[in-house]
Amino acid sequence: MHVSILRSAVLATALACTSLAFAAAPPPAGAATTGTSQPAKHRGGHHMKLFDQLNLSETQRASVHQLFQQNFEQARPEMQALRQKRMAFDNATPGSAAYQSAANDLAQAESNAAHAQVLRQAALRTKIYDLLTPAQRTQYATLRAQRQAKMKQWRESHMQKRAGSAPASSAAQ
């Protein structure tokens, strides 16, 4: 159970943080997809829209793209090692000593990977932020505050809807 939570944390961290870097490279003019074969609308999420609103220069976009590539290359060996530990765990027989050992190894590796990923992504975000002009930083802060307000409003609305439907779901049990 703990392993799946850690795996989810690593994935969520990676997805949340790397979207900042993906957002910097604009899709080719008139193209629906980028060179990554991933549709442009799925590559950066809200960060893609945010960077479009910041009007990054081509130099800034190129720098951000380079930073992302470097970050990815730094993470690659760790992710390969993690993949091997997952395979060892998946291939071990439940209940055996090898299974318990593989589970412990995987849990420790997932924990270490999550920690390293958060630190790597924090460094990446800092480097990207440092590329912004003072005006872009101000605009970035404003856009983030607006997004956070929208998310808070959505969460409150969502919780009200859930609270209204809670008695109906508990009656079915």
Length in residues, the chain: 173
Domain presence at residue 167: no
Burial of 24: CB neighbours in 10 Å, binned 0-12, 13-18, 19+: buried
What value does the mean pLDDT take over residues 18-30?
Answer: 39
CA-based angle 86:95:107, to the nearest 5? 35
Contacts of 98 (CB under 8 A, 6+ apart): 92
pTM value surpassing 0.85: no
Domain presence at residue 82: yes
Q: Percent of the chain having pLDDT more than 70?
A: 66
Domain hosting residue 138, numbered range = 2-24+39-144
Domain presence at residue 52: yes
Whole-angstrom Cα distance, residue 161 to residue 151? 15
Q: Is the pLDDT of residue 92 over 60?
A: yes
Domain presence at residue 63: yes
Domain presence at residue 157: no
pLDDT at 167: 58
Q: Is the pLDDT of residue 122 over 60?
A: yes
- The token pair at 35 is 């060179």
Domain presence at residue 115: yes
Q: Is the pLDDT of residue 7 over 70?
A: no
Domain presence at residue 72: yes
Give me the number of domains the chain comprises.
1
Q: What are the tens digits of pLDDT across the range 29-69?
A: 433 333 333 343 334 445 556 777 888 999 998 998 899 99
pLDDT at 48: 58
Q: Transcribe the chain into DSSP letters.
A: -HHHHHHHHHHHHHHHHHHHHHTTSPPPTT-SB-TTSSBHHHHSHHHHHHHHHHT--HHHHHHHHHHHHHHHHHHHHHHHHHHHHHHHHHHSPTTSHHHHHHHHHHHHHHHHHHHHHHHHHHHHHHHHHHHS-HHHHHHHHHHHHHHHHHHHHHHHHHHHHHHHHHHHHHHT-
Domain presence at residue 151: no
